[in-house]
Amino acid sequence: MTEHDGPARYGHLDCNSPIAAWRFERHVEECAAASPGTIVDIGCGWGELLQRITERVPGARAYGIDSDVALLERGRAGAARRGLDSRLEFVEYQGRDWSEPADLVISIGAAHAFGTAAEALRELYGLVRPGGRLLFGDGVWNRVPDEAELAAMWPGTTLQDWLSLPDLVDEAVAIGLRPLRVEAVEQSEWDDFESQFLADKEVWLLANSGHPKAAEVREQADAHRDWWLRGHRGLMGFAYLTLGRPVG
C-alpha cells in the first residue's frame, strides 16, 4: 500500500508482539545457544525473531509459517537481505496443518491459529523433537476482569480467551513440557507495542488530514486506542515460556 492509498501496516514494529529489545535479544541468544538443527515458527508474521536466530545458528534449516501472504513477503525480503534465503523458507500455510517436527519450535501471539492456548500447547508439543525446545508467547490475564472491563476490550473478548500465567505454565507442564524460563512483559512493553502499532495510522493522519480515507482511519485509531487504554491496559499481560521437551 502506498501512502496515497492509506497507512502502512506494521511499519513501525520490528516484530508483531509486545517485547523489549533486550528481551528479544535474550530470546535470540538463548535459542541459538541450544544449537537447533531445525527451526519452525508457526504464525511467524515476517519472522524477525526467526531470522535473527537462524542468522546465529549457521547450520540450521528454518521455516516460517503464516497465513498472511504480505507478511511472508516481508519475511522473504529480510531473509534475502541477511543472506539466509537458502536455508530459511517462508511458507504460506494454516498453522495447525504443519506437521514437520523441529528442534526449536516458536509460536508467539498465534495461539488462536490452534484454538485456545491449551490446545496450541498440545499441538505444538507434538512438533518439538524429544530433547528440543518450544518458545511460546501468548496473552495472559493479570487478574480476572469483570463484565464491564471485558466489554471495554476488543469486541468479542471473553474470559476464555486467555489464561493466567500460573495456569498457562501448568498447562505446559501437564502436557509434558518443562519450563526453562517463565517471563511476562512489563507494562512499558505493551505500551510501546500499542503505540508503535498505532503509529502507522497516526503518522499518516498527520500528513493526510484531508484524504478521503482520513475520517475512517481516525475512527479506527481512536477505537483501537480505547480498547488499549480503557480496555486491556493493566488487565492483560503477555507471557513468554521457554519450554523443554524431555528426551525420553
Residues near ligand SAM, by CB under 6 A: 15-17, 43-45, 65-68, 71, 94-95, 108-110, 113
Question: Exposure of 153 by Cβ count < 10 A (0-12 exposed, 13-18 middle, 19+ buried)?
Answer: buried
Nearer to ligand SAM, 27 or 245 (CB): 27
Contacts of 170 (CB under 8 A, 6+ apart): none
Number of Cβ within 10 Å of residue 81's Cβ equals 10
Question: Exposure of 122 by Cβ count < 10 A (0-12 exposed, 13-18 middle, 19+ buried)?
Answer: middle
What minimum distance in Å lies between the beta carbon of 213 and ligand SAM?
Answer: 23
Nearer to ligand SAM, 35 or 94 (CB): 94
What SS3 state is found at 6?
Answer: coil
Nearer to ligand SAM, 72 or 169 (CB): 72
Nearer to ligand SAM, 25 or 146 (CB): 25
What minimum distance in Å lies between the beta carbon of 208 and ligand SAM?
Answer: 26
What minimum distance in Å lies between the beta carbon of 240 and ligand SAM?
Answer: 10
**Residue 205, H or E segment:** helix 187-207
State the Cα angle at 181 between 177 and 185, rounded to 5°: 120
What minimum distance in Å lies between the beta carbon of 194 and ligand SAM?
Answer: 12
